[in-house]
Structure 1
Amino acid sequence: MQSLLLDNGTWDLVVDANRNLAVCTAPYAVLQDVATAVRIWLGEVLYDVRLGIGYDTDIFTNASNAVVLAREVERIASEVAGVTAAQCTLTRPGQKRRLTGVIRIQLNDGTTSDVQF
């Protein structure tokens, strides 16, 4: 499995030493694809508007719905090719209107890795 390599800081495309678009392979490609998938809002992907987290639902109405959001993140992460299980832990830094988290991913080969979003 290959994916276009994205810069960790800007989430933009990267070029290799020959000035071609850089690619990455599994397992890093799977982890990067998970991080990308959970950053998408429902309807944002023009070629498939069914992808993404539904922002217009009741998920963001109060703190008790953080569990619902975590389950939605886990569902989306589990749908990425190469992932067999996902467990999301949400964190809330001191800034308002900002929610981050860590997803523990189990890959097809049985290894686990953490993905921050």
Structure 2
Amino acid sequence: MLTQSLKLNSQTWDITLDGAGHLATVSEAAAVAQDVASACKTFLGEVWFNDKLGIPWMSEILGKPTTTTFIQAQLEQQAMRLPYGALARATVIAHRDKRGASGVIAVVDTHGESSQVSL
């Protein structure tokens, strides 16, 4: 199975064009990483056709007492809902002094290809 997705600009998360002016695409591990990032950026209830998709950012994470373990589990769950995800491991580091977090999601697809998503 060839995994392919429209290429998104990493800064604006908008679609991009290739050198010929056509919609740019990414494939395989890069597409998997981008799709995982998109899934993890989705707020619970944001998707109109399926309001069960997404992470409860507003209701359970942002501005609420939570743990990095809970956030990691939510990220892994969203990564694994993609049909080509075989393994997902999230590592989240809390920066309490800055009221923020950083981390990475390591993903292995069904072809055994590895990719990472930085948070």
**Do the structures match in fold with TM over 0.5?**
yes
What code does the residue aligned with 2:5 have?
Answer: S
Residue correspondences, number: 115
What is the CA distance between 1:52 and its match in structure 2?
A: 0.4
- In 2, the alpha carbon distance for the partners of 1:71 and 1:87 equals 9
**Structure 1, 105-114 or 80-89: larger mean CA deviation:** 105-114
Number of the residue aligned with 1:107: 109
Does the residue aligned with 1:13 lie in a helix, a strand or coil?
coil
- 8 Å CA contact retained: 1:106, 1:113: yes
- 8 Å CA contact retained: 2:68, 2:94: no
Extract unaligned runs of 5+ from structure 2. none
- In 2, the alpha carbon distance for the partners of 1:81 and 1:18 equals 31
Q: Give the TM-score normalised by the residue count of structure 1.
A: 0.85
- In 2, the alpha carbon distance for the partners of 1:16 and 1:24 equals 11
After superposition, what is the alpha-carbon deviation per residue over 1:10-58, rounded to whole angstroms, capped at 9, x for unaligned? 211100112121111112111100011001110112232211001313x
- In 1, the alpha carbon distance for the partners of 2:20 and 2:97 equals 41
- In 1, the alpha carbon distance for the partners of 2:102 and 2:47 equals 21
- In 2, the alpha carbon distance for the partners of 1:93 and 1:13 equals 31
- 8 Å CA contact retained: 2:80, 2:86: yes
- In 2, the alpha carbon distance for the partners of 1:95 and 1:41 equals 25
Given the alignment, which residue of 22, 26, 29 partners 2:28? 26
Does the residue aligned with 2:105 lie in a helix, a strand or coil?
strand
What is the CA distance between 1:5 and its match in structure 2?
A: 0.2
Does the residue aligned with 2:13 lie in a helix, a strand or coil?
coil
Number of the residue aligned with 1:62: 65
What code does the residue aligned with 1:62 have?
Answer: P
- In 1, the alpha carbon distance for the partners of 2:98 and 2:22 equals 39
Identity of aligned residues (%): 32
What is the CA distance between 1:95 and its match in structure 2?
A: 6.5
What do you get for the CA RMSD once the two structures are aligned? Answer: 1.9
**Structure 1, 72-81 or 86-95: larger mean CA deviation:** 86-95
- In 2, the alpha carbon distance for the partners of 1:2 and 1:114 equals 16
Q: Give the TM-score normalised by the residue count of structure 2.
A: 0.84
Number of the residue aligned with 2:81: 79
- 8 Å CA contact retained: 1:30, 1:81: no
